[in-house]
A and B are shown apart, each in its own frame.
Chain A
Amino acid sequence: MKPTPVKLLPELGLHSVWTLLWRWVLGAAVGTGVIAVTSPLFLRSYLPLNADPVRGVWTLPPDSDYRWRSEGYANTAIGPFGMPGKAVPLSGLSVSNGEQTADLNQAQGPPSQIALWGDSQAEGVSVDDDDKLFAKIENASSGDLNVYPLARSGEDAADWVTQMPRVEEKFGIDQHVILVVEPADLLAAVGAPVAAPSASDASAANAALASKLPAFVIQAARNLLREPDGSTPRRFRFTVGPVPAASEQFGISEQPAVEQDAATSDKTGDSLNRDDSVLWVNALAAIRNATELPVVLLYAPLSPHIIDGKIRWRDPTADQFLLLHNAAEKLGIRVVDARDELRDSVGSGGRWPHGFHNGHIGSGHLNQVGNEILAAKLFEALSDRPDDSALPSIESRD
């Protein structure tokens, strides 16, 4: 049979081709414009990071707005020193020549100044500013407490202990509160580096990129060039199968998460012996040595949690918490345990402290309810404050 020759654009003349081409170029521009306008409804922000001279860390730029779009839909106004949600001018803080400074001596603030540390759970990702933990604590105290939200996603005790002395003087901090969700985060306090942010950091490059490109372009580039984890460069495979990680590729979970969790927990329990308590003592001693001020650990683990269709009531890090609690007692660090309140919230009222409708109710970050519970618990504990003289002195702690 005689083959039919291939004709590209056979029915169109040159004029028609140009018209069509022009129409598609214009249409592509308009379509991109539609995406540019609507994408803020669905996409998170990409903001250039700012090297904060006081805290010595990279923070989101003050006076900017950050959009949360992953679990909950919320906007956060970034305040001075990169504090999320604390956008209003702080008492005793002034901004001059583009640099933020704080004058402790001139502060006419509330009686107690609290520095709130933690990771993304304490930062209040995906919740509105009024529902963040620091705001809820301030509300619960009716203005008796002024809370500085210094927690940042991905941070651990190594970051907290380096920042504590820096902010104490500037902000006039009276006490530190650390939200502990995963106790292992505290272990990083031992041997924490004291390096200030460097301009050669990758963060600086990201900052330059984020300030020049709109969020949807950055997101598109990330999606195309990175693996789903967001950090590994995308790799293509053109070899024939089977591939060893076929189960992962096809999204098949070979072991239910609950069992995995139990296994991890059991392993933790097995591996934790008396020697492990030394680890916790060392970790908390590092925190204790970083500040002379009272430190409160607010313990709020990921339970109750819905995992694979089952409610996990049990605290997955209960073994670690036990050691942590003992170590804290020795070092005069106060521990506030919010587990019962978290359980009661679900058990009696069906109000889940974790998760969002856009993510999964019952798992994920602390939501409005969770922040409210923790704020109430902390305020109650702080109101019932033990006598500071009962705490061991720094020397005796060493």
Chain B
Amino acid sequence: MLFTQFEFPIYFLCVLIAAWLCRGRRTRNAVLLIASYYFYAYWDYRFCSLLALSTVVDYCIARWMVRSTGTGVRRVLLVSSLVVNLGVLGFFKYFNFFIDSASPALQAIGLSGETLDIILPVGVSFYTFQTLSYTIDVYRGVLKPVNRFLDFALYVAFFPQLVAGPIVRARELLPQLAKVPGFSKRRFYGGAQQMLRGLVKKVLLADRLGEAVDVVFAGPDLYSGMTIWIAVLAYAGQIYYDFSGYSDIAIGAAKMLGYRFPVNFRHPYLSGSMSEFWHRWHMTLSRWLRDYVYIALGGSRVSQWVTYRNLMITMTLGGLWHGAAWTFVLWGVWHGFALAFERGFKNAFRFRIARPISWLLTMAVILSGWVLFRSDSLTTAAGVLQRMVGFAEGVNWYPPLAIAALLCCVIEHVAWCTPLRRAMRLPINAWYSPILTTVMIWALVLYAPRDFRPFVYFQF
């Protein structure tokens, strides 16, 4: 089920009532677990087995891990968890990509190199990372394995974050699931407001921007450089509002149920450097990559060149995590290179670049990265960049609603830097909150695009 489907409010209302009527932790968690599996089965019940497999494997491995004292055994158990989880992810998400990429080599040695008709299970990248974080934390000794299977199963399958994050770590959610949360009016209201904001971001802004993006990227050779600039900016807005909108809905839904999720976005387009960008963009993924890949590789406590290598590896894997295509890999490489370059520059030169200039440079890197991210091939990406830089001739198309949505993006980012930031949360006692809330609800009903658009991050 998607948050933007008409069925979701009905489903969520039922879950909300049922959850708050449950007095006991066990009953509450059981209700939420059933609701979460139904949420996933709504898309395809067959893939619930994968979710269950991942849950059982990591629960059992963590339990065995704590019982065994030998480092070797613990390491074997960790590797087993990695093999199972990454095996599932690798098969469903990357099998065809690798076969396709290796096809010429395979054919040279007499193998067919045929791809399979595989459906990518929704959210597999997210829940795999969640369960892995649990096993690795238990292995590292920073987390005690959970005793109650029900709690762990709910941690893995909890519906608000199941299919597209935020990637909540076990040590953040499991302690919350160990008790029945107290009801707080303010938290409940705050959650509802955040859900509403998320819906506005997704439906009114991201989807409007997406309409323009899809048309131009379907045939970028047709359009003028100016139109392509608008489309690329629109894509930057689309992917931000799409994903941060989803995160807002997820965080808001959890909040209404009494749980706290980590923040996932903090106005990333205000960043003045690439490292700052990754502290503001998809924060739960970047800290996952930092904690479980970058630091595992040695982080920055190694020589300068090894640090650069670590950055490149981490970001390349981050790119690959987003999708099984060379454009995503290259996007990761591009960000890794930018981060490494930035680090090297800071080490070599001790002066600071003025914030407006560093912001412009950062935006240039990010936007060119989005071109790679959105294009269906490297050739398309190269063509788009060429037309952007050369302000090529072509069809001029200036979609007014997409441009208006882009302006909203700019205004929102600027307002966030001012005292208006607090007002943007629409406090319950503020006089303007009822008015703006009503306007947002009406706007959602009236101005949502009529064609259905899934969340961009669902494909990851």
Contacts and interface: CB of A to CB of B under 8 A. Distances in A.
Contact of A240 (B45, B434, B436): B45
Interface residues of B, number: 61
A34 B185 contact: no
Interface in A206-243: 216, 219-220, 223-224, 228, 230, 234, 236-238, 240-242
A28 B42 contact: no
B218 A308 contact: yes
Interface string B241-254: 00000000000000
A220 B446 CA distance: 5
Main secondary structure of the interface of A (DSSP, over half): loop
A248 B41 CA distance: 18
B435 A236 contact: no
Interface in A1-50: 1, 3-12, 20, 23-28, 30-32, 34-35, 39, 42-43
Contacts, number: 149
A35 B400 contact: no
A8 B25 contact: no
A357 interface: yes
B50 interface: no
A349 interface: no
Nearest to B220: A309
B192 to A, nearest CB: 12
A160 interface: no
Contacts of B180: 1, 3-4
A42 to B, nearest CB: 6
Interface stretch (B82-90, B132-140, B391-399, B415-423): B391-399
B381 to A, nearest CB: 15
B452 A241 contact: no
B220 A31 contact: no
Interface string B136-173: 00000000000000000000000000000000000000
A11 B400 contact: no
Q: Which of A27, A34, A237 has the most CB of B within 10 A?
A: A27
Contact of B44 (A20, A234, A241): A241
Contact of B181 (A4, A26, A223): A4
B296 to A, nearest CB: 35
Contacts of B123: none
Interface in A373-393: none
A31 B396 contact: no
Contact of A32 (B42, B438, B447, B448): B438
B305 interface: no
B183 A6 contact: yes
A30 B219 contact: no
Contact of B185 (A1, A12, A230, A246): A12
Contacts of B355: none
A31 B438 contact: yes
B454 interface: yes
A205 interface: no
Interface of B: 6-7, 10-11, 20, 23-25, 38, 41-46, 178-183, 185-186, 215, 217-222, 395-401, 428-429, 431-439, 441-443, 445-448, 450-454, 458
Top 3 closest A-B pairs, CB basis?
A: A309-B219, A27-B434, A31-B438
